[in-house]
Structure 1
Amino acid sequence: MGKQRDVPTSNAGDRPVDFDSCRGRTQGDDSDTEVSSRRTFLQTVAAAGAAGATFASTASGASGPYSEYYDEYENVVDVVEAGADDTGGESITPTLERYRTDDTLFVFPEGRYYMDEQFRFTGFENVGFVGDGATLVPANYYDFDGPQYRLFRLGVSYSPGRRLRFEGFDVDQTASNTGIRVIEAYASQRLEVRDVNIYGQHDSGTWGPGMFNVTDPDGQGIVERFRAPDGGEWVDNTPSAGDRWRGPIGIEANQNRGRLTFHHCVLGAFPNNGLYAAHGDGTIVVHGGLYENSNGANVRVGGSNSQIRWPTVRVDSTRPLDQSQRGIRIENGHGIRVHGAAITVSSPDPTSHALSVMNTCESARIENTRIEMAGDDVNHGIVISPLAGETVVTDTEIEHNTAGGHPFWIRESDKQDRVLAEYVTISGEAGDGGGFRDGIRCERDNCRFNVVDVTQRGPGSIDRNAMVNTGSNTVVYRGTYRADQYPYVELGSDTVVRDADLESYQSGREAVCLYTSASNPAFKKNRLINGIRDYGASGVTTWANTY
């Protein structure tokens, strides 16, 4: 039998976090469902060996909230009737070990289930774990037996499971030093994880609460309503101090090869990325959810044709050890799409970019996204890294009210891959901290701005520019540009500005400023209030403008 312990008193039911109570249940594909007659069901504790357990068979007993799943498994085990303690006083891992066999669904009735050692099962064809009002209670770091990393290790990279289901569990980590990875899962064909609610900060410094990977390019997985809103502690403040860098990741999926969806997940402040799914070559889909205050990035995604759809990303708190809290970071892939994201950065302390397109991102599209930035330090909005590939930003709004920064910054590069901004609105009142005082800073060749509206005001005597271009072959078509300083500043070459409306808020200030480095700029059919200030540009063309 497992080790005895004092039954803890949980305050999880008193927490203010509002987790919806619905639990989605998805039947397996018809091709994977066996006929119901092959099912056996454990009603009484049967004598069993570890690997070749024989369960008592019954024609009845197939009832309960998960009975719709029973036909998918040869064996159904009620873990309490199998001998597991549901009061939280004795470890249940030995019971799980006794009944560990393939093609089995483990059912956890309402209760509290204490675990002080890892349950490991790899190379299986089909296994499931479902809870009906079940709460998992990890032992604290010092009492955990064996590797102090996980409760459930289900599949490994070199021996994954084929089909895995895990759903319907609360995890009580409110006691000190009980933070641990709840589930680490590798599945080749089908991975389903739903309704896992983690209460309490991950404070032991061990690996973060979830790791998920689909190992076959044709496999699919979903992680739905996996919630860890209390985040994780920095490792130096935990029993694992010195063992790893920074501390736990919220959810990790860096070896994914199939299609893996994260649906309506919730992650609080983790010291080493929130959702980190950037290094596999499969497809990652992030749909909805709330991601807050993590370091590195709150949502960090790569892969082939991955999508980030309708998430809420929020940075409104910075702890003493927090260093860089990017909103969304995309990298290591192609065809990555951000759609409908709502990103808010309002911490008064330094954080980082709201949305980063990294050097290893071969192509990306950002659309229908809303970014709001405020705070007493310098922060940038959308930043395109120098080696990033073709990037499109469309139907997007950026409101920028920080001490300085560029709402939209296309960093200097020798690459010729196009950056297109279309139907983009940039507004706000920001400072000039660090010398960052431009609404759009374009330092790359071959960029185009269609129907872009920029308003840049600075507090007090601070002047900001609407757009500064240092690249070549830039096209600005239509759009409205307003600023305290200059609406448009040119330092590059072979630029065309056409059908645009440019006006400074300063009385008498010109609409355009051309520096000596500017060559062959052309201004056609624009409204240029107070004209152009030319410090010695070469090859200037003007045609059919109004002043």
Structure 2
Amino acid sequence: MGLTSTASASSEPYGHYYDEYSTVVDVTDVGADATGNEPITPVLEELRDDDTLLVFPEGRYYMDEQFRFTGFENFGVVGENATLVPANYYDFAGPQYRLFRLGVSYSPGDRIRFEGFDVDQTAPDTGIRTIEAYAAERLEVRDVTIHGQHDSGTWGPGMFNVTDPDGTGLVDQFRAPDGGAWINDTPTAGDRWRGPIGIVANQNEGTLEFRHCWLGAFPDNGLYAANGNGKIIVHGGLYRNSNGANVRVGGNGSEIRWPTVEVDSTRPEDRSQRGIRIENGRNITIHGAAVTITEPEPTSHAISVMNTCESARIENTRLELQGEDVNHGIVLSPDCGEATIADTTIAHETAGGYPFWIQDSDRTDRILAEHVTITGAAGDAGGFRDGIRCERNNCRFNYVDIEQPGRSGVNRNAIVNTANELTVYESNLRASQHPYIDIGANALVRDSALESSSGREAVCLYASSTGPAFKKNRLAQGIRDLGATDVTTWANTYE
């Protein structure tokens, strides 16, 4: 069987794994062709066994059919500078979906290892899922790089799920930088919607981490890990130009930490290239994200908190939006739960849009923005011309710094409030029109500085405004009152 003894393991790149398996096999010792000329799946089928590690020495390994193994306790596949070469769509036998299928949802493997492969799909029509893995106890996938666009229209490069709530998984440095083609540009035109997803993990029940992954432009989401009950962790990585969302995450307690998300290219079919989308869970955290959108579609929000997100925290995050379309920064959907946005900066230089939009809602869960800075000269295309648009009751803004100078003489406002019970505390609001407009009820602005660069009043109160209070503020040029009721002012200055 070409056994590699553990005595010689120290000289092998993956030798430190050998003592985890009763059988370690060099696949070339038992007939696997390393020149890329003969298919290797028949050899792998003969080697398939539990508690086994298959080792691929340096070389090229041609695959024209799927390798499937399920229901095992411990199985691994590792490459030592090895390259997998998939057949094109027309020559691929059987299910034209995957190279490796390790475990299935109803019969997962307990422990799965897969690492150390390049995948050469630079030839036309060669996109195929490299690995689909379901592990109950432990999943480890490392150092997999896919070269070439996924252009066959089949399922995207990776699917990963941990099936047991106590299980753990790590997908480290899984890279598909060339993305995938839209379905109508592939041999399967018309058979599916949009095209492939970069990485999908929508049945995860355990804790599954994606570390330092890299995904290019995919037609149907980049990383899509939103529909399982388990915890998803995204740590670092680069996610670029996918349609739908570049990082789409759900699950209770999930974390998105330090990713870089870039949208700088849009294909004709792209309709929405959101940066980060969170949903289907509670206590979801975005920490240290850097989202840059320089070629936005009109609906490609930098961060979307969806209706099914019960609670969220966005902190230490930096958003940069530029371009000649309307685009929004952080958007809280109407039915999302409580949310905190802290220590975050938004540079907004688009033709129009809201850097921070709290959408109209009947929910009263607290929305807190604290130490948030909003800058940039944006336009008013589409009528979107406010730094913060607050349409939901029970919001509080502490220590926010907003500057909305407007692009080419456009009138921009710092905060427009249409809801009830808003509090603005110790904040600096500057705008080319009015720093603060109130259309709601029982708002309180205190210990803040408000100034219009055009000499307008710091505050504009519409007739529908009821019970607004302004205490200990600096309100340059005072208050423009268009018929508000029960206005309270105390200890303000108006220079």
TM-score by length of structure 1 reads 0.89
Query: SS at the partner of 1:303?
Result: coil
Matched, 1:464 2:412: yes
Match of 1:478 in 2: 426
Match of 1:213 in 2: 161
User: How far, CA to CA, are the matches of 1:249 and 1:261 in structure 2?
Assistant: 18
Query: SS at the partner of 1:322?
Result: coil
Matched, 1:535 2:482: yes
| Cα drift, residue 350 of structure 1 | 3.5
> In the alignment, which of 123, 137, 143 is matched to residue 71 of structure 2?
123
| Cα drift, residue 82 of structure 1 | 1.1
Query: SS at the partner of 1:142?
Result: helix
> In the alignment, which of 230, 248, 262 is matched to residue 196 of structure 2?
248
User: How far, CA to CA, are the matches of 1:246 and 1:103 in structure 2?
Assistant: 39
> Aligned letter for 1:380?
H
Match of 2:232 in 1: 284
> Aligned letter for 1:517?
S
Match of 1:31 in 2: none
> In the alignment, which of 113, 129, 139 is matched to residue 165 of structure 1?
113
> Is the 1:318–1:351 Cα contact (8 Å) retained in structure 2?
no
> Aligned letter for 2:468?
P
> In the alignment, which of 499, 512, 519 is matched to residue 447 of structure 2?
499
> Aligned letter for 1:285?
I
> Is the 2:299–2:328 Cα contact (8 Å) retained in structure 1?
no
User: How far, CA to CA, are the matches of 1:429 and 1:344 in structure 2?
Assistant: 16
Query: SS at the partner of 1:332?
Result: coil
Query: SS at the partner of 1:460?
Result: coil
> Is the 1:349–1:375 Cα contact (8 Å) retained in structure 2?
no
| Cα drift, residue 243 of structure 1 | 1.5
| Cα drift, residue 59 of structure 1 | 7.7
Query: SS at the partner of 1:94?
Result: helix
CA deviations on 1:210-237 (whole Å, 9 max, x unpaired) are 0000000000000000000000000111
User: How far, CA to CA, are the matches of 2:79 and 2:361 in structure 1?
Assistant: 53
Match of 2:215 in 1: 267
User: How far, CA to CA, are the matches of 1:355 and 1:82 in structure 2?
Assistant: 51
| Cα drift, residue 349 of structure 1 | 4.6
| Cα drift, residue 108 of structure 1 | 0.2
| Cα drift, residue 60 of structure 1 | 5.5
CA deviations on 1:183-241 (whole Å, 9 max, x unpaired) are 00000000000000000000000000000000000000000000000000001110111
Query: SS at the partner of 2:370?
Result: strand
CA deviations on 1:268-315 (whole Å, 9 max, x unpaired) are 000000000000010000000000000110000000100000000000
| Cα drift, residue 242 of structure 1 | 1.4
Match of 1:182 in 2: 130
Match of 1:24 in 2: none
> Is the 2:177–2:216 Cα contact (8 Å) retained in structure 1?
yes
> Aligned letter for 2:477?
N
| Cα drift, residue 65 of structure 1 | 1.3
User: How far, CA to CA, are the matches of 1:477 and 1:60 in structure 2?
Assistant: 68
User: How far, CA to CA, are the matches of 1:266 and 1:91 in structure 2?
Assistant: 29
> Is the 1:108–1:130 Cα contact (8 Å) retained in structure 2?
yes
Match of 1:110 in 2: 58
> Is the 2:335–2:361 Cα contact (8 Å) retained in structure 1?
yes
CA deviations on 1:373-405 (whole Å, 9 max, x unpaired) are 000000000000000000000000000000000
User: How far, CA to CA, are the matches of 1:323 and 1:205 in structure 2?
Assistant: 19
| Cα drift, residue 522 of structure 1 | 0.3
Query: SS at the partner of 2:419?
Result: coil
> Is the 2:4–2:24 Cα contact (8 Å) retained in structure 1?
no
Match of 2:351 in 1: 403
User: How far, CA to CA, are the matches of 1:104 and 1:131 in structure 2?
Assistant: 14
Query: SS at the partner of 2:30?
Result: coil
User: How far, CA to CA, are the matches of 2:384 and 2:8 in structure 1?
Assistant: 69
Structure 1 runs not aligned, ≥5 long:
1-41, 44-55
CA deviations on 1:10-31 (whole Å, 9 max, x unpaired) are xxxxxxxxxxxxxxxxxxxxxx
> Aligned letter for 2:461?
L
> Is the 1:301–1:329 Cα contact (8 Å) retained in structure 2?
yes
> Is the 2:256–2:289 Cα contact (8 Å) retained in structure 1?
yes
Task: Report matched runs for 1:66-465 at 5 Å.
Answer: 66-347=14-295, 349-350=297-298, 352-465=300-413
> Aligned letter for 1:496?
L
User: How far, CA to CA, are the matches of 1:58 and 1:379 in structure 2?
Assistant: 59
User: How far, CA to CA, are the matches of 2:265 and 2:354 in structure 1?
Assistant: 21
Distance 1:60 1:494, change over 3 A: closer
User: How far, CA to CA, are the matches of 2:317 and 2:292 in structure 1?
Assistant: 11
Match of 2:492 in 1: 545
User: How far, CA to CA, are the matches of 1:478 and 1:319 in structure 2?
Assistant: 44
Query: SS at the partner of 1:273?
Result: coil
> Is the 2:5–2:24 Cα contact (8 Å) retained in structure 1?
no
> Aligned letter for 1:213?
N
> Is the 2:6–2:15 Cα contact (8 Å) retained in structure 1?
no
Distance 1:59 1:518, change over 3 A: closer
Task: Report matched runs for 1:16-95 at 5 Å.
Answer: 42-43=1-2, 61-62=8-9, 63-95=11-43
| Matched-pair identity in % | 71
TM-score by length of structure 2 reads 0.98
> Is the 1:349–1:376 Cα contact (8 Å) retained in structure 2?
no
User: How far, CA to CA, are the matches of 1:59 and 1:405 in structure 2?
Assistant: 62
Distance 1:524 1:64, change over 3 A: same
> Is the 2:342–2:371 Cα contact (8 Å) retained in structure 1?
yes
